[in-house]
Homo-oligomer: A and B are copies of this chain.
Amino acid sequence: MKWPRGLDGLCFGGDYNPEQWPEEVWREDVALMRRAGVNLVSVGVFAWARLEPARGRYTFDWLDRVLDLLDAGGVKVALATPTASPPPWFSLAHPDALPVRADGTRLLHGSRDTYCASAPAYRQACRRIAGELARRYADHPAVALWHAHNEYGTVCHCDHAAAAFRGWLRARYRTLDALNDAWTTAFWSQHYTDWDHVFPPRATQYLPNPGQVLDFRRFWSDELLAAYVEQREVLRAAGPDVPVTTNYVFGDWVPVDHARWSQEVDLVAIDHYPSDPGAGAEEETAFAGDLARSWAGGRPWLLMESAPNLIYAGGRMHAKEPGRMARHSLSHVARGSRGAMFFQWRAPRGGAERFHSALVPHAGPDSRVYGEACLLGQALDRLSEVDTGAVEASVALAWDAASWWALQGPGLPWDGIDYLAEVRAAHRALWRAGITADFVSLGRGGPLPYQMLVLPAHYLMSDAEAAAVRAYVDGGGRLVATYLSGVADEHGRVRLGGYPGALRDVLGVRVEEFRPTPDGWTEEVELAGADAVLPGVTRHRFGAGTAWYVSRRLDGAAFGALLAEAAGVPVREGAAELELVRRRGRHASWLFALNHGTTDHAVAAEGTDVLTGKRVEGALDVPAGGWAVIREAG
């Protein structure tokens, strides 16, 4: 991971779109940024139409003025390539580059992301505008970071996509025999005899081929990554000392494997918008922060977008309660974020997201939100000392994007299977027990330095991944695997002989039948070496380690108790109200205490309150809704 150029300490700021405002507002913006302590803004994210109003005609003058103004105000810039929204003229010039749905509907401009990332014309236009920006601004003193594109995640089913998909499949399988085998095309007469007969999973009569559906998502992860890498190379060519990143979007539909992508970015950057107006938002925040840190290999990363005052839930915009913006930000920093960035700086008058929250809301700077932003800016400034501290986590959860995608495919035993919910349930149980967790990708990297490894619904499992799990337990590790783990190989083909195929020996169980119920999941488990320890839970000694199998959905408290016992650590009562996370540096550690409750809580601690500078001896009171960071002796 690289640091934004010229930026020390934690980042604070957000998406800044001066193109939405007359120039007189810009000056007020910079003054308000200074007042709030903003030190980094993302500029140009959707500015293509303003930067290149016609093919090859560039209008950079306004951007020059904006960057100079920001530089003069001491605000650094994450300069974006604007490629997430090609201008209307581009659509008209290249209708073949507009995206196509599975049913053949070609989408038109008028929103954002109306392109096919496999279309040559689009890729060429992206390289061109990225190159122009790079050459003009790589040396601008305000530019601290390149922000390529925005939230890669747009797929397409057009003929360009079909051709690219075929190329990807040839590289993956080399022969049609291998593809036919991986996809089990013998079922329903889908055997391919010519690469040109293979298509994206377009609208078809009935259930599509699950292997095709899975590989199509894998393909798009790699295809979009290739588009990113192209931009990165263009940007690096103009000035290699400015790091390059892109902001990850997270959602059910996203065909991007962030763990894989993280090998190609200079700094992992995520956007995070919780979706639960209640206490679930705090859990989601912890979950996202832990994932991001893990994608970053445990190193610092950056929260690139979050909402100052908005949780969008069930079609309704929930305003965050006073203090909640800060607690969410601190939760991310506690988990390794290099700061807290927001979408967006100033609420626009129009456009589809005019009611999205902003640091400067429609009401203007004379507002609660801007006031809280100023306090947060101050706090982040004081917290800069934590920046490189490592986050303490003794247990790990496996995260596998491909299992997620596979469990969204056709023909599963239950259409209520939700991989993300399964992983979140495991993370939540740990979080509520007061246990900070990392995420790992099985088989990527060496031995797993954790007291416990949890595999929630790790449906796909290659032989290599299974071997990694086996070696971990054999070497003394504690494994907790939940239902559906190990059932299929990496192509989604069921492993025979009884479930959970790849893990039968490690878990010491054999299952013939799944029994999904309206409430969740159960199985008829046959013991094959394991002992039944609880309803739906078995334990098996394997080598020097122990492996638990959870064959039914446990309620949160029971799951937490089981995980804590398996990990060999006690449950911390009240952890969901008073969240504690520790970062450890070379000479000191920092204890983050976030009080999400409605009553004050005392934290046992020795050290110094970083915000007030006061000595903490034995305990510190954290008021309801408040937070504190205590520097402890290293």
**A379 on the interface (CB 8 Å rule)?**
no
Segment of A119-127, A197-205, A288-296, A443-451 engaged in the interface with chain B: A197-205
**A13 on the interface (CB 8 Å rule)?**
no
Using known A-B contacts A363-B497, A512-B368, determine if residue A111 contacts B206 with beta carbons closer than 8 Å.
yes
**A349 on the interface (CB 8 Å rule)?**
yes
B107 engages A204 (CB within 8 Å): yes
**Interface hits, A45-61 → B, CB 8 Å:** 46-50, 53-54
So how many copies of this chain end up in the complex? 3
**Interface hits, A497-534 → B, CB 8 Å:** 497-499, 510-518
**A598 on the interface (CB 8 Å rule)?**
no
Q: Which residues of B contact A518 (CB under 8 A)?
A: 314, 316
Using known A-B contacts A87-B191, A353-B411, determine if residue A204 contacts B499 with beta carbons closer than 8 Å.
no
Q: Which residues of B contact A204 (CB under 8 A)?
A: 107-111, 114
B319 engages A188 (CB within 8 Å): no
Chain B nearest CB from A38 CB (Å) reads 20
B512 engages A355 (CB within 8 Å): no
**A86 on the interface (CB 8 Å rule)?**
yes
Interface of A is mostly: loop
A264–B597 alpha-carbon span in the complex (Å):
62
Of B20, B208, B363, B512, the contact of A352 (CB 8 Å cutoff): B208
Segment of A413-421, A541-549, A611-619 engaged in the interface with chain B: A413-421
Q: Which residues of B contact A499 (CB under 8 A)?
A: 362-363
Of B192, B208, B211, the contact of A88 (CB 8 Å cutoff): B192
**A384 on the interface (CB 8 Å rule)?**
no
Chain B nearest CB from A597 CB (Å) reads 21
**A573 on the interface (CB 8 Å rule)?**
no
**A492 on the interface (CB 8 Å rule)?**
yes
Q: Which are the 6 A-B pairs with shortest beta-carbon distances?
A: A184-B350, A187-B351, A315-B415, A49-B191, A207-B352, A85-B189
Of B17, B353, B364, B496, the contact of A362 (CB 8 Å cutoff): B496
Chain B nearest CB from A460 CB (Å) reads 12
**A462 on the interface (CB 8 Å rule)?**
no
B110 engages A316 (CB within 8 Å): no
**Interface hits, A426-442 → B, CB 8 Å:** none
Q: Which residues of B contact A364 (CB under 8 A)?
A: 496-498
B108 engages A363 (CB within 8 Å): no
Chain B nearest CB from A131 CB (Å) reads 18
* Residue contacts A-B, CB under 8 angstroms, 25 given: A17-B187, A46-B188, A46-B189, A49-B193, A85-B188, A85-B190, A87-B190, A88-B194, A104-B106, A107-B205, A108-B202, A109-B197, A109-B204, A187-B354, A314-B518, A315-B414, A315-B415, A317-B414, A318-B516, A350-B491, A350-B494, A355-B411, A355-B514, A363-B496, A364-B497
Using known A-B contacts A188-B46, A496-B364, determine if residue A354 contacts B411 with beta carbons closer than 8 Å.
yes
Q: Which residues of B contact A317 (CB under 8 A)?
A: 413-414, 514, 516
Q: Which residues of B contact A186 (CB under 8 A)?
A: 17, 19-20, 50, 348, 351
Q: Which residues of B contact A187 (CB under 8 A)?
A: 17, 20, 46, 348, 350-354
Q: What are the interface flags for A56-90 relative to B under an 8 Å C-beta threshold, 1 for contact and 0 otherwise?
A: 00000000000000000000000000100111110
B184 engages A316 (CB within 8 Å): no
A39–B92 alpha-carbon span in the complex (Å):
58
B416 engages A315 (CB within 8 Å): yes
B209 engages A351 (CB within 8 Å): yes
Q: What are the interface flags for A86-101 relative to B under an 8 Å C-beta threshold, 1 for contact and 0 otherwise?
A: 1111011000000101
B316 engages A361 (CB within 8 Å): no
Q: Determine the residue in chain B with the shortest Cβ distance to A211.
A: B350
Chain B nearest CB from A261 CB (Å) reads 21
**A27 on the interface (CB 8 Å rule)?**
no
**Interface hits, A23-37 → B, CB 8 Å:** none
A201 engages B309 (CB within 8 Å): no
A189 engages B513 (CB within 8 Å): no
A103–B103 alpha-carbon span in the complex (Å):
10
Of B48, B189, B510, the contact of A112 (CB 8 Å cutoff): B189
**A493 on the interface (CB 8 Å rule)?**
yes
**A367 on the interface (CB 8 Å rule)?**
yes
